Chain A
Amino acid sequence: MKLDCKHVWEHISGYLDHQLDPELLAAVEKHLENCEVCSAVLDSTRNVLVLTADERTYELPVGYSERLHARLTAAITGETG
Chain B
Amino acid sequence: MKAVATADERELIRRVLAGETDLFHELIRPYERLVYVTIFAILKNETEAEDGAQETMINAFRYLKNFRGEAKFSTWLVTIAMNEARKRLRKGKAAAEDSLDATLEDNEGGDYTPAVLTDWREIPLEALEKKELREKLREAVATLPEKYREVFVLRDIEELNQEETAAALGINVTLVKVRLHRARMMLQKVLVPYLKSDTTLRIPAKTQRGGFFRGWFT
Determine how close the nearest CB of chain A comes to the CB of B149; give it in whole angstroms.
12
Taken together as a complex, chains A and B put the C-alpha atoms of A40 and B22 apart, in Å, by 52
* Residues of B in contact with A, size category: 35 or more
Q: Which of B137-157 contact A (CB under 8 A)?
A: 137-138, 141, 156-157
CB-based contact A52/B137 at 8 Å: yes
- Tell me the bound Cα distance from A39 to B46 in angstroms: 36
Q: Are A44 and B53 in contact (CB under 8 A)?
A: no
Beyond the given A13-B181, A52-B157, please list 17 additional residue pairs across the A-B interface where CB-CB is below 8 A: A9-B113, A9-B114, A13-B185, A14-B181, A16-B184, A48-B137, A53-B217, A54-B128, A60-B37, A61-B46, A67-B54, A68-B54, A68-B57, A72-B28, A72-B61, A73-B25, A80-B19
Taken together as a complex, chains A and B put the C-alpha atoms of A54 and B33 apart, in Å, by: 14
Docked complex Cα distance between A56 and B37 (Å): 12
CB-CB under 8 A from B191, the residues of chain A are 44, 48, 51
Structural contact, B50 and A47, CB atoms closer than 8 A: no
Q: Please, how many residues of chain A have a CB less than 8 angstroms from a CB on the other chain? A: 43
Contact of B61 among A39, A48, A67, A75 (CB under 8 A): A75
A50 at the binding interface (Cβ < 8 Å): yes
